[in-house]
Amino acid sequence: MKYALVTGGSRGIGRAVCLKLADMGYHILINYKSNDLEANETLRLVKEKNVSGQLMKFDVSNKAQVDSLLGGWIENNKEDTVEVLVNNAGVREDALLMWMTEEQWKNVMGSSLDAFYYVTRLLVMGMLANRYGRIVNVVSLSGIKGMPGQANYSAAKAGVIGATKALAQEVARRGVTVNAVAPGFISTDMTQDLNEAELKKLIPMQRFGQPKEVADAIGFLASPEASYITASVLSINGGLYS
Ligand code: NAP
């Protein structure tokens, strides 16, 4: 069976990615941290598309949990291949740097940058052995431009961009591609607290994006058709910044 793992698949962009990859015929491993209700709703929607889905509850920033839950799955499913990995889980904890606590710094770095390392290193080996794989990392405009109040988030996402480019060159010869998408403002729980009416005036398209608009781009990068695209960062931001 061919699987795709989506971290942070319970809600927002991650849920839309699960549904897109299900449309592409993948069986979906839905990772999330704590929201059982939303994760089960994603699972229900995935199953409606006539593929199987499986919930995988673990904290991507916790190495022991990743090794035990994801490592355990790999060990017990040796006949199956995870062809697609979408590193999507992430959190925002904004503060000006001078007020930022170590906890805020570490939480944000952990869920994006450490998580990239913990999760990807377990799956890349199988992709190399199969001589096929697609890794897509969800970064952010913040990691390209830098955003005031988000030194932690900008650093974490910029770090993942660097790791994307490095890993892409390590695995290119074996048919494994590694790319990143960098959304601007997308309507999800993560942006609920922002002043959309004011912020959308800054966006040439005059609106926030929808999770599906990010998922469709990820679906393309995760498809066989994107075979000559690697080490790239695709902005999905309505023209806000490039
Ligand atoms: P969201 O609606 O807040 O959903 C976050 C998802 O990540 C949830 O599924 C959550 O699981 C999961 N998650 C968070 N921390 C986790 C952890 N430590 N371990 C496992 N799962 C974890 O966020 P979103 O807007 O869809 O964002 C998805 C990605 O896009 C993030 O990487 C974010 O940085 C990036 N992004 C978003 C925007 C935007 O405007 N929304 C813009 C640029 C980039 P639970 O449901 O269990 O909490």
Q: Which strands, in side-by-side order, build the sheet including 27-32?
A: 53-57, 27-32, 2-6, 81-87, 133-138, 176-183, 233-236
**Which residue, by CA, sits nearest to atom 23 of ligand 1?**
190
**Which residue, by CA, sits nearest to atom 44 of ligand 1?**
140
Residue with structure tokens 């988030």? 153
25 assigned to some structural domain? yes
Domain that residue 222 falls in = 2-236
Q: Specify which residues 186 forms β-bridges with.
A: 209
CA–centroid distance, 11 to ligand 1, in Å, is 7
In the chain, how many domains are there?
1
CA–centroid distance, 51 to ligand 1, in Å, is 23
The whole model's pTM is what? 0.99
Q: DSSP secondary structure string, 193-239?
A: TS-HHHHGGGSTTSSPBPHHHHHHHHHHHTSGGGTT--S-EEEESTT
Residue 27 belongs to domain with CATH number = 3.40.50.720
In the chain (242 residues long), the average pLDDT of successive 10-residue segments reads 97 99 98 98 98 98 98 96 98 98 98 98 98 98 98 98 99 98 98 97 98 98 98 98 88
Structure tokens at 15: 């849920």
241 assigned to some structural domain? no
166 assigned to some structural domain? yes
208 assigned to some structural domain? yes
CA–centroid distance, 31 to ligand 1, in Å, is 11
The angle at the Cα of 83, spanning 160 to 178, to the nearest 5 degrees, equals 30
Work out which ligand 1 atom sits closest to the CA atom of 59. Answer: 19
242 assigned to some structural domain? no
Alpha-carbon distance 67 to 72, whole Å? 7
Q: What is the pLDDT of residue 152?
A: 98
* Residues belonging to the active site: 153
Ligand 1 neighbours by CB, cut-off 6 Å: 7-14, 31-35, 38, 59-61, 88-91, 111, 138, 140, 183, 185-186, 188-191
116 assigned to some structural domain? yes
CA–centroid distance, 173 to ligand 1, in Å, is 31
16 assigned to some structural domain? yes
